[in-house]
Structure 1
Amino acid sequence: MILLLSLAAMSSTAALAQTPPERPIALVIHGGAGFVPRDALSAQDRKAAHADLNRALDAGYAVLQDGGSALDAVSAAVVVLEDSPIFNAGKGAVFNARGGHELDASIMEGHTRRAGAVAGVTTVKNPIKLARTVMEHSPHVMMAGAGAEAYADTRPEIERVPNSWFDTPKRRQQLEKAQREEAAKSKREANAATDAPKYFGTVGAVALDRAGHIAAATSTGGMTNKRYGRVGDAPVIGAGTWADERCGVSGTGWGEYYIRYNAAHDICARVAYRGDSLQAAADEVINKLIPAAGGDGGAIALDRDGTIVMPFNSGSMFRGWIKPDGSRGTAIHEDD
């Protein structure tokens, strides 16, 4: 009897030893990079921003904890950020020069390389949902403007709102200020290629799930006072959003430079092809290449080990993270 019990115990121990360790999960989000002086944020503003970042983390991480996909996790997190009036996406989108809103978003699943994006939509409450629908239910990757709106008409699950729904007093004030400053300049100065955007802002998320899969998503209202249907990097796969088997990135900053340098993909390419660490790759692209060209901004990225990096050179970047060990945090400025 003792021998049988001993053998049973040994068998149980061996079975436990053969059980593979649980794979790590991780989530990182951002609410936009830009120069936001500390004294420009009241204690109430700061508290509200941290609260909404935490709500987005909670939404995405709950999916991962339940064994859900990275794709579902980034979708859930970005929807929370789009619904917040604090960030430049969805409800908090900035105004264009005509006093309206044009929204962009993209999403990508790393292990399949599936991707979807929309640009210049005006009545879609959550552009990230439409971007995912483009990925999952159409043969295309990107749809824009009236065509994207027409496609949304065919998808009853996509919630629609009047363009005025995106209005917020803060964004109206930013538009009026930008237009006053523009009127005070000469035509040459107002159109100078060296004029930097006065406001950056985008939201995004990157997640790693239990299956070891990575997904990334990005959504934005673009640039305050933008004209001519301007589209930045957020909906451009490889520029503002990228995910593959090793790495995922969501960018935020001066979109023209992120497009020119294919910033999100370049970070992951350095990991894949040169064997760079994620930190080294992200620092090189975000803090060296982009500034050397004249741009600025930031990015969030993670790899298949759950390593999280959040480089930025713009003075501040709203961000939040949950690491594989479960530790979490939110921050706005460099020394937070």
Structure 2
Amino acid sequence: MTASDPVIKPRIIIHGGAGNISRANVPDDSYNNYRSSLQRILRLASASLAKPDATALDVATYAVSLFEDDPLFNAGKGAVFTRAGTNELEASVMVSRGHHKRGTGCILLNHVKNPIKLAREMLLRGDDISGGGAQHHVQLSGPYLESLAKDWGLETVDPSYFFTQRRWDEHAKGLQRGAGATVSEDTEALADDKRPSNPNDPSWDGKEYLPQGTVGAVVLDSAGTICAATSTGGLTNKLPGRIGDTPTLGAGYWAEEWLEELSSASTMPYAPQSPLDKLSRGDIAGVLSDCLPSLSATTPSSSSSSSGEQTPSEKPSPRHRRRAIGLSGTGNGDSFLRVCAARTAVAHSRFSTPNAPLSASLALVAGPGGELQQSAGDRWKVTGEGEGGIIGIELVGSESWVGYDLNCGGMFRAWVDGDGNERIAVFADEDGTEGW
């Protein structure tokens, strides 16, 4: 970066899941616990982002690893159970530029303590032409992937590490509601004999929402790189072997960068009007100017040399500007998969004419009445299908925007706004300025 390069302000937004979150099923004590954890993670990650050599990949990974270590959230310690009473973890990272693989997804993990660190390692090692052990694959799963984690020096644990009483109770209640569902003897043994004693394991009072979301972070660093990092235990009582949107490129996460052509269309809220458009609006002068260009006078300030070359005092106008977006989603993963939610939102921003702002694209996919909700059809508000939210960061030139949208009762979220203020919110109608 040279002294003349525009300064890019680092930004961060995080989420801890979304779904049927309401004031009826998140009592005050739980609400305060969630806000406290969100604030702690946001502050620690923001401090890391403030370091001179901070990268979006490292900070996003760090933020999500903090979520994975916090039993309040459905990732790592505190992940939900499958119908068989096991934990099957997933994680992913993706960067807008800078690494060959761009994105990686890790699937069906039950020994790696922090799945997000494995996704990061897989991305970094992909810069080696050999793939660093993972070849050129961007998704891997199961025992072989966990053996790579050990070879790469990542911390592994016994599956009982992921057990929390709260998630076990949610699992058991869910099975009781299912017709003929039973808990296996092996699973009972896990609950009775291998249950770790942890005074920090949050209790559950029977009124909590059943998690179907994830945790995630989107970070923009001073170099202009955006990283999306996401981790989850999946849906409560999912079938063993189920693969969700979190490790699936384009569904639950995405990061992308492109050069946007600068033209009158991209610098105006609407495309230039045709003569017919102008005539319909009564713009007679505009019609005459289009049809008879000789009537359009040039002003002295628009002078140029007779040869068509620029005068020494003029600077060439840029023809392109960089644009980048990173997204992390949370909610009903099967719905995210059906509409390829994250990539659909980014594609709408990139390929609309003129390019649509990210806020509009998020509303199109994750907002009320958007693609996610429509995908549920007549099951909306019945099965949990279609529910969710997406957080994201958009970079246009050197200017950035941080935001989110959701179609459900709430999403645990926190971010630092453009003025440097912390924003923390839980319910859909909160804007992050609520006090304690």
TM-score range (shorter-chain normalised) is: 0.7 to 0.9
Residues of 2 paired with 1:27 and 1:110: CA distance?
15
Residues of 1 paired with 2:5 and 2:82: CA distance?
52
The one-letter amino acid paired with 1:300 is I
Alignment match of 1:131 (pick from 119, 128, 132): 119
Q: Secondary structure at the match of 1:330?
A: strand
Partner of 1:111: 97
Deviation at 1:142, TM superposition (A): 1.1
Residues of 2 paired with 1:63 and 1:269: CA distance?
31
User: CA distance change for structure 1 residues 253 and 218 in 2, over 3 Å: closer, same or farther?
Assistant: same
Residues of 1 paired with 2:421 and 2:349: CA distance?
25
Equivalent runs, 1:104-253 vs 2, <5 Å: 104-112=90-98, 114-137=102-125, 138=134, 139-156=136-153, 158-183=154-179, 199-245=211-257, 246-253=324-331
Post-superposition Cα deviations, 1:16-75, rounded to whole Å, max 9, x if no partner, equal xx7655321110110000112213223322222111111221222122211311111101
Post-superposition Cα deviations, 1:244-284, rounded to whole Å, max 9, x if no partner, equal 12100000111112112111111111112211111100110
Residues of 1 paired with 2:4 and 2:124: CA distance?
34
The one-letter amino acid paired with 2:242 is R
Alignment match of 2:22 (pick from 22, 27, 37): 37
Deviation at 1:325, TM superposition (A): 2.5
Is 1:101 the equivalent of 2:87? yes
Flag the structure with higher helix content: 1
Residues of 2 paired with 1:115 and 1:19: CA distance?
31
Higher-Rg member (1/2): 2
Equivalent runs, 1:241-280 vs 2, <5 Å: 241-245=253-257, 246-274=324-352, 275-280=355-360
Residues of 2 paired with 1:314 and 1:235: CA distance?
22
Post-superposition Cα deviations, 1:265-305, rounded to whole Å, max 9, x if no partner, equal 11111112211111100110112111111012111011013
Q: Secondary structure at the match of 1:306?
A: strand
Partner of 1:191: none
Partner of 1:194: none
Is 1:83 the equivalent of 2:83? no
Partner of 1:284: 364
Contact 2:170 2:210 (8 Å CA) reproduced: no
Q: Work out the percentage of aligned pairs sharing the same amino acid.
A: 38
TM-score (norm 1): 0.87
Any stretches of 5+ residues in structure 2 without a counterpart? Answer: 126-133, 182-208, 258-323, 377-385, 431-436
Contact 1:24 1:324 (8 Å CA) reproduced: no
Post-superposition Cα deviations, 1:173-194, rounded to whole Å, max 9, x if no partner, equal 1101110111279xxxxxxxxx
Aligned length: 307
Partner of 1:6: none
Post-superposition Cα deviations, 1:112-149, rounded to whole Å, max 9, x if no partner, equal 36212101100111000011111112332111112211
TM-score (norm 2): 0.68
The one-letter amino acid paired with 1:35 is N
Partner of 1:13: none
Partner of 1:3: none
Residues of 1 paired with 2:49 and 2:344: CA distance?
27
Is 1:331 the equivalent of 2:425? yes
The one-letter amino acid paired with 2:21 is V
Any stretches of 5+ residues in structure 1 without a counterpart? Answer: 1-17, 186-196
Partner of 2:387: 296
Residues of 2 paired with 1:212 and 1:110: CA distance?
9
